[in-house]
């Protein structure tokens, strides 16, 4: 696998690929760990990343990394490889076309950017790291379609029968939280939603218990912080 920073070596631009440079203002030092099933592929990628501006390569275990770059030689090694990524890191995955089950495994382990191996020039990998650092996700069109189809199936078969939405809340929980955020108390919420106060309190109790939240104030804060209401 060869890498190059020369623009002539970049692959043809796709609609789903951005090749512009990371703005200078965004270039903070990013701690990057590299995972690869093949020791030679890992060594090659490490040699390309070391010494690059704004990149600090984390040696050994990737627990301290902000971004993990995982490079697979075969799709079969993907689950074990991405499973090594720390839960708080953002994952850049360089691989050939993954199957849906492998794609979901990567997503469960923090996937932010999926880069086909054929496009993995040095410049493109650095762009992917910059995107992951800034929270800009990227999936090729085929994988994006698989994810959207999977989310629709998840909602239809798993969440909807439990009266939950894709954000993890029910419509009733969402409405109660919105009204709490607007300053209403449980009596006002019960009156406007045609519930008893006990029902409103039960909704809040079930919500805080399920999400491990301390109280209703914590629940509102959680919902606002995560854009759920």
Output the pLDDT for position 10: 37
Residue 116: band (very low, low, confident or very high) from pLDDT cuts 50, 70, 90: very high
Output the pLDDT for position 3: 52
Output the pLDDT for position 17: 35
Output the pLDDT for position 96: 87
pLDDT of 6 higher than 60: no
51-65, 90-104, 132-146: least confidently modelled range: 51-65
- Domains, the chain, ordered by start: 20-149 (3.40.50.2300), 164-225 (1.10.10.10)
Q: Going by C-beta distance under 8 Å and a sequence separation of 6 or more, which residues neighbour residue 11?
A: 17, 118, 119, 121, 124
When comparing pLDDT for 159 and 208, which is higher?
Answer: 208
Output the pLDDT for position 14: 36
What's the chain's average pLDDT?
84
When comparing pLDDT for 31 and 11, which is higher?
Answer: 31
d(CA 187, CA 74): 59
Output the pLDDT for position 92: 95
What percent of the chain is modeled with pLDDT above 70? 87
Residue 98: band (very low, low, confident or very high) from pLDDT cuts 50, 70, 90: confident
Across residues 131-142, what is the average pLDDT?
93
Across residues 43-63, what is the average pLDDT?
87
pTM: 0.70
Nearest-CA neighbor of 54 among 110, 117, 111, 133?
133
Across residues 8-18, what is the average pLDDT?
37
pLDDT in tens, 60-75: 667 888 999 999 877 7
Residue 24: band (very low, low, confident or very high) from pLDDT cuts 50, 70, 90: very low
d(CA 85, CA 115): 17
Output the pLDDT for position 67: 94
By residue count, the chain amounts to 229
Residue 164: band (very low, low, confident or very high) from pLDDT cuts 50, 70, 90: confident
pLDDT in tens, 173-194: 999 999 999 999 999 999 999 9
b/e map 42-63, b = 16+ CB within 10 Å: bebbbebbeebebbebbeeebe
């Amino acid at each position: 696998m060869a890498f190059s920073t020369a623009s002539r070596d970049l692959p043809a631009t796709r609609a789903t690929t951005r090749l512009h440079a990371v703005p200078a203002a965004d270039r903070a030092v990013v701690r990057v760990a590299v995972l690869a099933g093949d020791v030679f592929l890992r060594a090659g990628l490490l040699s390309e990343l070391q010494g690059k501006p704004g990149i600090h390569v984390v040696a050994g275990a990737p627990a301290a990394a902000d971004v993990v770059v995982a490079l697979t030689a075969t799709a079969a090694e993907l689950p074990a490889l991405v499973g090594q990524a720390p839960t708080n890191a953002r994952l850049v995955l360089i691989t050939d076309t993954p199957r849906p089950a492998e794609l979901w495994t990567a997503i469960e382990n923090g996937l932010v950017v999926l880069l086909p191996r054929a496009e993995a020039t040095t410049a493109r990998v650095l762009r992917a790291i910059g995107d992951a650092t800034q929270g800009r996700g990227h999936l090729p069109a085929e994988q994006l379609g698989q994810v959207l189809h999977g989310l629709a199936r998840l909602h239809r078969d798993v969440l909807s029968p439990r009266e939950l939405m894709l954000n993890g809340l029910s419509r009733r929980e969402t409405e109660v939280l919105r009204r709490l955020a607007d300053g209403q108390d449980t009596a006002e919420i019960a009156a406007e939603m045609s519930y008893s106060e006990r029902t409103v309190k039960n909704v809040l109790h079930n919500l805080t218990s399920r999400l491990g939240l301390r109280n209703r104030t914590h629940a509102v804060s959680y919902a606002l912080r995560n854009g759920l209401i």
